Structure 1
Amino acid sequence: MTGAVPSRHHEIVDDLRHQITSGSIKPGERLPSEAGLAARYRVSTVTLRRALAVLQGEGLVEKIHGKGNYVRRPRRKVMYVGGWGTLDPWTAAEPKLRITVRHTTVPASVHLTTLLKLPTGSRLVEYTCLSLEQGTPHGLARIYIPRDLAPAGVLDDDSAYREAATRFAVLGSSPATIRETVCARSPTPDEASALRIGPTTAVLAITRIATDSTGRVTEAALLAFPGDRIDAVFTAHHVLDERLTHG
């Protein structure tokens, strides 16, 4: 019994992918026209476009309307440091990376009241932080603090809190605990718009909850990063049981 014969568009995908990953076709280089590629591979333009769609979905090819298909330049990644609740300081300080920050006061939605354990409609300070490199978004953070806990600096745009916001860091007083829930999912419409990605592009979503020593939730942050533009590192620290070490 013989295996299934690969379809022509898969053969085209494999060939073009090899040329791109081996460097035969350079990042930023324009591919031949779709009609030209279809003629080269002796397939219809419909089959050729199916192959290009696969490469576009893999992030290897980018179609620019009115110009053609280009080999996508590798995206520089940012790093999120789990447990500290912040972008890596070296990453955040990269000169090419620009962070826009704005804040407003909003009523708590049902989802936020659940996260912050507050009554519906409670007043929150919302910080929206967007990181960009040469106009390309790298990450989006929406950070929420109960209005009565918001430090004066957050409301007055104090430089110290603005600097913390540029690292997507916890803005309030030092928390006793930080809990982060991480998942990969499709973006919400708002995230897709802000990050300028398609609805099928996976995002790494982090929900970060900061709690003080009394157990009160002092801050909730909703972070979203395009999957190809983020590395996240989480470090586990093992605590030795003193009864075992001194037994």
Structure 2
Amino acid sequence: MMRSVPSLRHTIADDIRNKISTGRIKAGERLPSEAQLASSYAVSTATLRSALAVLHGEGLVEKIHGKGNFVRYPRRRITYVGGGLTPRTKPSAPDSALRVSVRTTHLQAHGQLLGLLGVSASSPLTEFLCLSHQGKSPHSLARIYVPHELAPTDVPAELHCYEGIEAKLAELRPPLAEVRERVSARPPTPEEAATLRISSAPGVLAITRVASDHTGRVVEAALLVLPGDRADALFTTRHMTHEGTTGQ
């Protein structure tokens, strides 16, 4: 039985991967330039880039525009805890808390926002663009939309977690009565891939969350993007017993 011969790109990727796993190239360290690596392995730049693409897809190496290729720090997993009125993100370890930067923008309703929020075209909305970071590396992305009159004006530019922005939003909006969450797996858009510095290989968990008050009015719509190689989604349903208590 004939064995397949590894291609040049996989041979190069295996060698770089081995150097990373053995600590000869450390997390956060910049790799030599693509021209230097191509010369070192005696291959064309195209072949070298193809080898790096393998490592990008595995999440071992990331390319930062204008700076080069870097060995990624190990990514801590995070769990999106849904199924309740207030969403939560839970890191896999106590010391793996994420920082969240927030950018606030005022805009008019358009496109899919019309259906999500049930508003007419050009209705005033406020968008909170939230990007979480683990150290200096981006981790997850969320776009939260609320009617302009329900948007707080004192949201800080940086928070410790997504729960912080949710707490600020709760200050002006009426109590929530219903939350609908839809989870799908898909490739990242080019913008998402660039923002999160990921390839399309692992895909993302895309969560659409729509919250309404007791009148049925939608008071918040959120679009969350969690890279599939570092995120889980957890939903717990509690049923009521005949006596009116919660069943386990």
**TM-score where L is the length of structure 2:** 0.70
Q: Which runs of 5+ in 1 are unaligned?
A: none
2:239 counterpart SS class: coil
Q: Which runs of 5+ in 2 are unaligned?
A: 244-248
After superposition, the Cα gap between the structure-2 partners of 1:86 and 1:12, relative to the gap in structure 1 and judged at 3 Å, is same
Matching residue's letter, 2:239: V
After superposition, the Cα gap between the structure-2 partners of 1:168 and 1:21, relative to the gap in structure 1 and judged at 3 Å, is farther
Task: Name 2:2's counterpart in structure 1.
Answer: 2
Task: Report if the CA contact (8 A) 2:118-2:218 is conserved.
Answer: yes
Task: Report if the CA contact (8 A) 1:99-1:166 is conserved.
Answer: no
CA distances 1:129-166 after superposition (whole Å, capped 9, x unpaired): 23234443323222122245x1xxx333278xx88866
Q: Give 1:59 shift.
A: 1.7
Task: Name 2:246's counterpart in structure 1.
Answer: none
After superposition, the Cα gap between the structure-2 partners of 1:167 and 1:192, relative to the gap in structure 1 and judged at 3 Å, is farther
Aligned match for 2:37, one of 30, 34, 45: 34
- Separation of aligned partners in 1, 2:66 and 2:187: 27
Task: Report if the CA contact (8 A) 2:30-2:71 is conserved.
Answer: yes
Q: Give 1:175 shift.
A: 1.7
Q: Give 1:17 shift.
A: 2.9
Q: Give 1:114 shift.
A: 0.6
- Separation of aligned partners in 1, 2:228 and 2:136: 18
Task: Report if the CA contact (8 A) 2:56-2:199 is conserved.
Answer: no
- Who wins on radius of gyration, i.e. which is larger? 1
1:233 counterpart SS class: strand
Task: Name 1:157's counterpart in structure 2.
Answer: 154
Matching residue's letter, 1:47: T
CA distances 1:159-201 after superposition (whole Å, capped 9, x unpaired): 8xx88866453733332222111223344455455x2536746
Matching residue's letter, 1:105: H
After superposition, the Cα gap between the structure-2 partners of 1:121 and 1:166, relative to the gap in structure 1 and judged at 3 Å, is same
- Separation of aligned partners in 2, 1:55 and 1:163: 31
Q: Give 1:112 shift.
A: 0.8
After superposition, the Cα gap between the structure-2 partners of 1:11 and 1:209, relative to the gap in structure 1 and judged at 3 Å, is same
Task: Name 1:222's counterpart in structure 2.
Answer: 223
CA distances 1:15-65 after superposition (whole Å, capped 9, x unpaired): 4434434556432345564146415xxx55543442222112222123467
Between Structure 1 and Structure 2, the one with more helix by share is: 1
> May I ask how many residue pairs the two structures share in their alignment?
231
Which is worse superposed, 177-186 or 94-103? 94-103
Task: Name 1:61's counterpart in structure 2.
Answer: 61
Q: Give 1:94 shift.
A: 6.9
After superposition, the Cα gap between the structure-2 partners of 1:56 and 1:95, relative to the gap in structure 1 and judged at 3 Å, is closer
After superposition, the Cα gap between the structure-2 partners of 1:120 and 1:74, relative to the gap in structure 1 and judged at 3 Å, is same
2:101 counterpart SS class: strand
Task: Name 1:128's counterpart in structure 2.
Answer: 129
Counterparts of 1:58-97 in structure 2 under 5 Å?
A: 58-63=58-63, 69-84=69-84, 85-88=86-89, 97=98
Which is worse superposed, 123-132 or 57-66? 57-66
After superposition, the Cα gap between the structure-2 partners of 1:4 and 1:188, relative to the gap in structure 1 and judged at 3 Å, is closer
- Separation of aligned partners in 1, 2:163 and 2:240: 36
